[in-house]
Chain A
């Protein structure tokens, strides 16, 4: 499959054909065709990913890196091919800089427990933003508590954008690590991560980028970004759940102490002295999630085949359409109106509880997310308890946006009677 795609006009993407690749979309929920608009929570899986999982268990299943038999060879090769694919997908310097994890949360916790423990001392500072997911808040709070370090928070303006001027004021020689989200899961805001990274580096601080929402659609080049760590989840890039990747610069990964102890991560074990394996295996203790890692490659190839630029162009069109249609609904208030945003529309009605909207939409077969989206501090900052969030993927259509709009019209009319 080629990764070289010329950008076609968004309307030239054959969305109906893309929809055919996702078997789950073709079902009824509560008597109506499913409208799946919860893609920021997890994306659906194309048939090629499902096939890769099935093929692995039907043909290749074996434990990796240890056996000398044919199946073990095949399984190991398939596993390592995914590492190679991710290396190219996010343009790391070498495949050894890619560590398999359970997902974004696991990747952040790994960095906190290893790089963090080794480099953050009493009085040091860690900087995050006010729009972080709980998984990019709590591990740092735990580390700060353990070390007597301080957590600093970059404020967010009313539109849901980080305030760069305030960020600059937070940086100092005490800053050891900056950890920010590339694209907000609650609002869709695309953060100026390149500027954030460069500014942090002026003070010698390392930077982790939470790529959970950005990896499927934005061109990720970790060398150009010059981030120190980049984490993402397989299940948000049309791949399986329970697998993700951590990118770390070689010099960091080599210096970092191991995370978990066990098989695979060692070079030799004796009761007197155990020595550790090279990167990335040093961080991959125990039998990994082989099948899901293998199938993740199929997801990456699927994205490459459609082309990120094509997907982005289509989604921008869809997002603009959704904004326009949803704005028609009386009393709707958009939450998160950043200049630079993608694939998420968060909204509230001041007179209707968000949870009720979500439940009523479900009765019409429309899947959205309601609540604080694991970003309670952000919700507090924006003065809402939670929002209704519709998040788009390449298989969504304008007709589905129409159904969401009609559904909302009916719900608010009935509920205001």
Chain B
């Protein structure tokens, strides 16, 4: 059973609490998380998959399987890759509806804005928007498929 968006967020909050808000250690930890993200195939690094509004390049690829969404992502910045990996982790294998409705309370709880700064916070907001938009598209697609089957 996949854990819920809330459960994953709580898990992240707990992990970050061990870093005591130390900005340097927190950023190193974020980069470590990014390293665990499987590398994106070069063919997926297209203009279409780039998240607009980030200073570094971020590719976010939504995939669709059996009512659940999967995400692959990469970035030319190690820190940004770590940030996008957090989103991938929270939203992996969740339904479009749950993704659309999700309240991302972990961002404030881990004090992200404090250690990544305004520019990156804006970039992170752009990533969230792209994930939610992908979920919305898939929700519509699912509805159309269902109505066609009727």
19 residue pairs from A and B, CB less than 8 Å apart: A352-B78, A353-B78, A353-B80, A355-B77, A355-B79, A355-B80, A356-B77, A356-B79, A359-B116, A359-B120, A360-B24, A360-B79, A362-B23, A362-B117, A363-B24, A363-B27, A363-B115, A414-B28, A415-B78
Does A30 sit at the interface, judged by CB under 8 A?
yes
Contact (Cβ within 8 A) A359 B31: no
Shortest C-beta distance, B51 to chain A (Å), equals 15
B120 & A353 in contact (Cβ 8 Å cutoff):
no
Give the contact-size bracket for chain A.
10 to 19
Cα distance A363–B77 in the bound complex, in angstroms: 17
Indicate with 1 or 0, residue by residue over A348-389, a CB within 8 angstroms of chain B CB atoms: 000011011001101110000001000000000000000000
* A32 closest partner in B (C-beta): B24
Closest A residue to B26 by beta carbon equals A363
How many angstroms between the C-alpha atoms of A356 and B80 in the bound complex? Answer: 8
Closest residue of chain A to B31, judged by CB?
Answer: A415
Contact yes or no, B55 A355, CB < 8 A: yes
Sort chain B's interface into a size bin. 10 to 19
CA–CA, A353 to B77, complex, Å? 5
Contacts of B23 in A (CB 8 A): 30, 362-363
Other-chain residue from B24, B28, B56, B115 in contact with A355 (beta carbon distance below 8 A): B56
| Bound CA–CA A352/B38 (angstroms) | 18
For chain A, residues 64 to 111, give those with C-beta under 8 angstroms from any C-beta of chain B.
Answer: none
CB-based nearest A residue for B32: A417
- Between B55, B76, B80, B116, the greatest number of chain A beta carbons within 10 A of the residue's beta carbon is seen for B55
Number of A-B residue pairs with CB-CB distance less than 8 Å in the complex they form? 38
Task: Tell me which residues from 180 to 206 in chain A have a Cβ below 8 Å from any Cβ of chain B.
Answer: none
A348 and B123 alpha carbons, distance in the complex (Å): 22
CA distance A352 to B56 in the complex (A): 12
List 13 additional A-B contacts (Cβ < 8 Å) besides A352-B78, A356-B80, A360-B27. Answer: A30-B23, A30-B24, A353-B76, A353-B79, A355-B56, A355-B79, A356-B31, A356-B79, A360-B79, A362-B23, A363-B23, A363-B27, A371-B55
List of A residues within 8 angstroms of B79 by Cβ: 353, 355-356, 359-360
Q: How many Å lie between the Cα of A30 and that of B21 in the bound state?
A: 10
Chain B residues near A30 (CB-CB < 8 A): 23-24
Give the complex CA separation of A30 and B79 in angstroms.
18
Q: Which residues of B contact A360 (CB under 8 A)?
A: 24, 27, 79
- Docked complex Cα distance between A1 and B138 (Å): 72
Chain B nearest CB: distance from A70 CB in Å? Answer: 45
Minimum CB–CB distance from B112 to chain A (whole Å) comes to 13
Which residue from chain B places its CB closest to the CB of A370 in the assembled complex?
A: B55
CB distance from B85 to the nearest CB of A (A): 14
Query: How many Å from the CB of A29 to the closest CB on chain B?
Result: 10
- Determine the chain A residues whose CB is within 8 A of the CB of B24 once the complex forms: 30, 360, 363-364
Residues facing A in B86-125 (CB within 8 A) are: 115-117, 120
Give Cα A414–Cα B31 distance, bound, in whole angstroms: 10
User: In the complex, what residues of A have CB within 8 A of residue B78's CB?
Assistant: 352-353, 356, 415
Chain A, Cβ-Cβ closest to B82: A356
Enumerate chain B residues within 8 angstroms of A356, measured Cβ to Cβ: 31, 77-80
Q: How far is the CB of A355 from chain B (nearest CB, A)?
A: 6
Q: In the assembled complex, which residues on chain A have CB atoms less than 8 Å from the CB atom of B31?
A: 356, 415
CB-nearest residue of chain A to B24: A363
